[in-house]
Structure 1
């Protein structure tokens, strides 16, 4: 795993519930300008979140295979990327409308409102590098595929939110 993804004293990971539903709710992604997604904090060294990031990164070829040649039932391809901010190694944010720029670089729109990136809002366009990808997901037949970092978050969510999100996952 990249040291950039695992060296923070407090990694902030936007919760997937509201973002996933907004991001993956329709084949044509529309990012909301005002995002009220809950935020779930994970401290550096959290074994579950680090394992989830490692798993997501190891299965990234599955994402790219679907992204490059999606089946009619596969939509809403999104990546979670790490954006650095001072005194921390970064905030992990879901990115919608992902595009390959080339040379290991990508662009997308923030699907969550960044909490630690002054002047940035949900819907803003941003660039990131392949090394900063911490998760991926898309919909297949209306169910979330991927989303490894969602699983550790379920324990920290309300039962109602966790149950609703599990119901949307292809493999809960």
Structure 2
């Protein structure tokens, strides 16, 4: 399971048995650049999804959802392309957003995509917002983050 994100606050929300939610101020320049890079490269994700490359697996998209206060960015996994729409299953238990829940199958709103990722031979491709969060951690915290999330970065 991957961590989700919430805008408009700067504390981390730890959850027992669930991935942490990393809260990010909505004016965080690095995070906003990462989300823009992800949006601008969705075609790369789609091409990989459709490639049938056996080295590519665990396709996921992070989508922005309206929440009580601000927005929450939640990972959607088991991505499929149906006609021109991405479909998938909500992979995180929302903390703030109330219109979706863990396990819901949804159609992804392309205008609300904030990140995407997949594994290439077990290594993360994409994951723009994850990299921003990870880069701000100490080396020890990065190792713990990687271990908790099962991630290997190129």
After TM superposition, is the score higher than 0.5?
yes
The residue that corresponds to 2:76 in the other structure is: 95
Q: What's the TM-score once normalised by structure 1's chain length? A: 0.70
Q: For residue 30 of structure 1, what is the aligned residue in structure 2?
A: none
Q: Using the TM superposition, give the Cα deviation of residue 10 of structure 1 relative to its aligned residue in structure 2, in angstroms.
A: 1.2
SS at match of 2:131: helix
3-state DSSP class of the match of 2:93? coil
1:48 corresponding residue in structure 2: 30
Partner of 2:94: 114
Give a deviation string over 1:22-58, Cα, whole Å, max 9, x none.
xxxxxxxxxxxx9510111111111010011111112
TM-score, normalization by structure 2: 0.77
- Unpaired segments of 5 or more residues in structure 1? 1-7, 16-33
Residues in 1 aligned to 2:94 and 2:7: alpha-carbon distance in whole angstroms: 18
Write out aligned runs for 1:1-172 (5 A).
10=8, 36-88=18-70, 90-102=71-83, 105-118=85-98, 120-157=100-137, 159-163=139-143, 165=146, 168-170=152-154
Once the two structures are TM-superposed, the CA of residue 120 in structure 1 deviates from its matched residue by 4.2
Aligned equivalents of 2:89, 2:63: Cα separation in 1: 11
In 2, Cα distance between the equivalents of 1:41 and 1:74? 29
Contact 1:35–1:112 (Cα < 8 Å) also in 2:
no
Structure 2: state its 5+ residue gaps: 1-5
Structure 1 residue 61, shift from structure 2 partner = 1.4
Change (3 A) 1:119 1:57: closer
SS in structure 1 opposite 2:108?
A: strand
Secondary structure at the residue paired with 1:109?
Answer: strand
Aligned pair count reads: 142
Rounded Cα–Cα distance in structure 1 between residues aligned with 2:96 and 2:64: 12
Q: Deviations over 1:94-134 (max 9, x none)?
A: 1001233446x432111111111337432222233110111
